[in-house]
Chains A and B, each alone.
Chain A
Amino acid sequence: MKVGRTYAVALIAVSALAVAVAARASNVTVNATVAGGSTLSVASLNTPSFNLTLNGDDQTVGYLAQLQVVDARGLATGGGWNLTLTSTQFSDGAGHTFPTTASTISSVTTGCHSGSTCALPTNSVSNSNLAVPISPTTTKFLNAATGSGLGRVDINVNVNVAVPANTIAATYSSTLTVAIAAGP
């Protein structure tokens, strides 16, 4: 009987040693809130230009219009956006112009701007070989389905310009106007 008590005390002592090294765990709930901003905007990042030397034949040249869309609304539903485009006719200001059908979008590419883990736009607009209209006519050339196009998105618009062989040598200018609207 006395020996039995000794064993009991020994077990208690071993147990006390074990508790001294046991891991203790606690749970903490972490909350982090993302507040939607109000920004839905488009901006131009460059002033494109090109040079052409007349050679007696009709020619096509291209330029790149770089745009940037910011969608900081954080909308999971009911979001998305679309871009529309219009232009003025190429003119030298002295009565000489390119045809109103001279400009055509050949392709549009998108990418996340540096420092922005964006959600690239899910586009449903056919934008290869898309005519660039003359103001006031506009055309939609890119959109983002709801839940896409979030963050800061760089957009490259490749535009081809058809220059007739009978063009008068001069400096011609055209203004592209891009607008953004909510919803795809």
Chain B
Amino acid sequence: MRRLLVLLLALVLAPAGAAATFTFSVVTSSPVTAPTATLSGDDQAKTFTVVTQVAYTGPGNTAGWKVQASSTTLTYATTHTLPALAVTAGTYSCQSGCTTSPTPTGITYPITLSTSPKTIYNANTGTGRGTYRITNTYQVTYPASAVAGTYSATLTLTGATGPT
């Protein structure tokens, strides 16, 4: 009976040990400060970047992955707001163990953010195997009629397996 139990343990643990491991983190420190706009009478746009890291390693890491973003409204003094943040670009760089570079699928920039998560970068099935840093470019639009002040929003970033 003891031998049978050991065998069962080996069978059960084998799939867990072989599973791919996915981790996601935000590399850029919070808060992020977008470039200041000095009002001129005309609309202006400024960009900043946020770097995230995806590590998709281990045997069987073929599902692909995605980075998603949602954002609250940039708000100053409760009543003054700026237009929604937009993601205008995304690039990757290899950190380690990169065997198949991420091939994005179904992503078209710019992506206007809302409180609902939207995929801002992904790796199609069978790609993105390894540890990568993703640099996304975000755009803040400053309307000519904006009120002077410092506006804040919360950007929520998530990572998960599967490109969609």
Contacts and interface: CB of A to CB of B under 8 A. Distances in A.
12 contacts: A21-B63, A26-B26, A28-B50, A29-B154, A30-B155, A32-B34, A32-B36, A34-B37, A34-B148, A39-B39, A74-B149, A116-B144
Which size bracket describes the interface of B in this complex? 35 or more
A56 to B, nearest CB: 48
B107 interface: no
Interface string A148-184: 0011100000000000000000000000000000000
Interface in A1-44: 2, 5-6, 9-10, 12-14, 16-17, 20-37, 39
A16 B13 CA distance: 10
A93 interface: no
B39 A72 contact: yes
A6 B159 CA distance: 33
A65 interface: no
Contacts of A14: 16
Interface string B15-40: 11001111111101011111011111
Interface residues of A, number: 47
Nearest to B14: A13
Interface of B: 1-2, 5, 8-9, 12-13, 15-16, 19-26, 28, 30-34, 36-43, 46, 48, 50, 58, 63, 68, 71, 74, 76-77, 80, 82, 85, 138, 140, 142-162
